[in-house]
Structure 1
């Protein structure tokens, strides 16, 4: 089972991305699971915390991504979900963690390692 969950949603070739306050890196919304929480429940909770005005359509599991962060050596495990629909205002809920949210093409932007992997697989050049 994954340690965290990520959301990928695209509209007109643009993806929903959020920027982490602590290091300025962009990522697909999501976060760490709590004890006893399913991957899907984790994602819905994290999106509600980060972007409380966003309404998501049905979620489909794309894949579970496992790897090791080259810089920190930390093992990563993410359940990556795709939503075909998302609507609502990009209002930040957790301002201590996230400082910006945008719809944009996920190229020419500093992404987290997991988000780069997802971008390269789901948004090829």
Structure 2
């Protein structure tokens, strides 16, 4: 089982991202799984804590990522879910952890290593 769950939601060429207060890096919303909690329940709980006004439709497991970050040495263990329907206001719930949420273009922001990995796999650079 993955240690964390992340949500990827896209609409009109933009993805839903949140910014960590501690280092001001952007990331796909989600967080760590609790003991006895499934990845899917973890995702729904974390979204409820981080963005309480967001309503998620069905979510589909895209991939479980188990890898080691080449730069930091940190191990990634994430269940990545894709939402086909997301609605509601972007109101921050956990203001100690997150200071901003927005629908952003997937490139041009400072992302966490895990979020960079997800972005590069799901939204590859378009050739010019």
Task: Return the TM-score normalized by structure 1.
Answer: 0.97
Which residue of structure 2 lines up, in the alignment, with residue 124 of structure 1?
A: 124
The SS at the match of 2:96 is coil
Q: How does 1:19-58 map to 2 (within 5 A)?
A: 19-58=19-58
> 1:72, CA displacement in angstroms?
3.5
Deviates more, 1:64-73 or 1:100-109: 64-73
1:28-73 residue CA offsets vs partner (Å, 9 max, x unmatched): 0000000000000000000000000000010000000111233442
Which residue does 2:81 correspond to in 1? 81
Structure 1: runs of 5+ lacking an equivalent: none
Does residue 91 (structure 1) correspond to residue 78 (structure 2)? The answer is no
Question: How many residues end up aligned between the 2 structures?
Answer: 125
* TM norm structure 2: 0.95
- Map of 1:12 onto structure 2: 12
Question: RMSD across aligned C-alpha pairs, in angstroms?
Answer: 0.8
Runs of 4+ in 1 over 4 A off after TM superposition: none
Q: What are structure 2's unaligned runs of at least 5 residues?
A: none
Give the aligned partner of residue 114 of structure 1: 114
Deviation, structure 1 residue 3: 0.2
